[in-house]
């Protein structure tokens, strides 16, 4: 059962109350107005068995801050966001192309027009490829694989959207509700790259695009994920036209519920261009 207060409500899991934040405004205000106070991770027997209270995803307090700082420094040393890391991802993408040897013709037309005969796609190219960049963002929005972010807890008595919240209160952030918020997206239930394009076809950032969550617990690997998605997606579409096998007219894209959301397996044909 639940007790509703607009986009913030209490969901009772057996005899345990859990607060749920839903929709862009509730998630943004709840996660940023008192970021430190809501940066905790609830502990239970399952988490304790799996992690022993360690790891940047499930630790708390000073230990979490140390591990997060160490993780960010390590990723920077590995070159995340730097040219050498980008070259490694380019090489991986090229290997995929060689092994495979649509999804959208408009993406391919833009890639061909902007990149010409170059076989290498760079992350900086996204600025010259607004439609391709918009398609990648819309794929993440429309086909978001994580509906609910990992649970959090309040580290001290605080306030969320005007409601007093006690210390160690568990709560959930509904990421899917942000990415499909009808107040922020013109056609939330349809795949529409135009969500990220202005009237002149230029790419625009959207404040409600939060697939990596928000606040102090935002995904540490966001930059690396963005870099990989752009380079691998663009490299594959430059090399192949993806079609359904003969006799197949459509695929089942309804998500299968699990630890992450994904459609059932299906086949595609990668035809060299």
The yes-or-no verdict on residue 126 having pLDDT over 60 is yes
28-61 tens-digit pLDDT: 888 888 888 888 888 766 667 776 766 677 777 7
The per-residue DSSP string of 151-166 comes to PEE-SSSEEETTEEE-
Residues whose CB is less than 8 angstroms from the CB of residue 127 and which lie 6 or more positions away in sequence, other chains included: 203
Weakest mean pLDDT among 15-24, 41-50, 201-210: 41-50
User: Is 219 annotated among the ligand-binding residues?
Assistant: yes
Is residue 105 helix, strand or coil?
Answer: helix
Strand partners, 258: none
**Count of domains observed in the chain:** 1
The encoded tokens of residue 254 equal: 């309804």
The encoded tokens of residue 82 equal: 């730097």
CATH number of the domain residue 215 falls in: 1.10.630.10
The encoded tokens of residue 252 equal: 């089942």
Can you give the pLDDT at residue 264? 77
Q: Tell me which residue range forms the domain holding 224.
A: 2-272
Dist. CA 174–CA 145, nearest whole Å: 12
Helices (H), ranges, the chain: 24-32, 45-51, 61-77, 83-100, 105-115, 130-142, 175-179, 222-239
Can you give the pLDDT at residue 23? 92
DSSP state of 193: G
Can you give the pLDDT at residue 3? 43
Distance of CA 45 to the CA centre of its chain: 28
Dihedrals φ, ψ of 245, to 5°?
-60, 160
Dist. CA 29–CA 178, nearest whole Å: 12
């Amino acid at each position: 059962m639940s007790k509703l207060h607009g986009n913030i409500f209490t969901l009772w899991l057996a005899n345990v109350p859990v607060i749920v934040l839903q929709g862009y405004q509730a998630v943004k205000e709840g996660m940023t107005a008192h970021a430190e106070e809501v940066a905790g991770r609830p502990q239970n027997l399952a988490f304790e068995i799996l992690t022993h209270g360690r790891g940047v995803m499930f630790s708390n307090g000073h230990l979490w801050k140390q591990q997060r700082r160490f993780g960010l420094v390590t990723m920077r040393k590995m070159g995340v966001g730097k040219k050498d890391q980008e070259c490694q991802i380019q090489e991986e993408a090229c290997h995929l192309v060689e092994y495979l040897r649509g999804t959208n013709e408009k993406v391919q037309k833009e890639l061909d027009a902007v990149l010409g005969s170059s076989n290498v796609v760079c992350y900086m190219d996204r600025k010259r490829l607004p439609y391709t960049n918009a398609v990648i963002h819309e794929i993440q929005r429309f086909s978001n694989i994580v509906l609910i972010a990992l649970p959090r807890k309040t580290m001290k008595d605080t306030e969320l959207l005007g409601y007093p919240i006690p210390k160690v209160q568990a709560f959930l952030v509904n990421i899917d509700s942000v990415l499909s918020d009808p107040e922020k997206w013109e056609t939330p239930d349809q795949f529409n790259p135009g969500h990220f394009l202005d009237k002149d076809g230029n790419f625009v950032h959207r404040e409600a695009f939060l697939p990596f969550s928000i606040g102090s617990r935002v995904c540490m690997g966001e930059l690396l994920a963005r870099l990989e998605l752009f380079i691998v997606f663009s490299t594959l579409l430059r090399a192949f036209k993806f079609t359904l096998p003969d006799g197949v007219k459509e695929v089942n894209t309804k998500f299968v519920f699990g630890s992450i959301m994904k459609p059932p397996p299906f086949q595609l044909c990668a035809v060299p261009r």
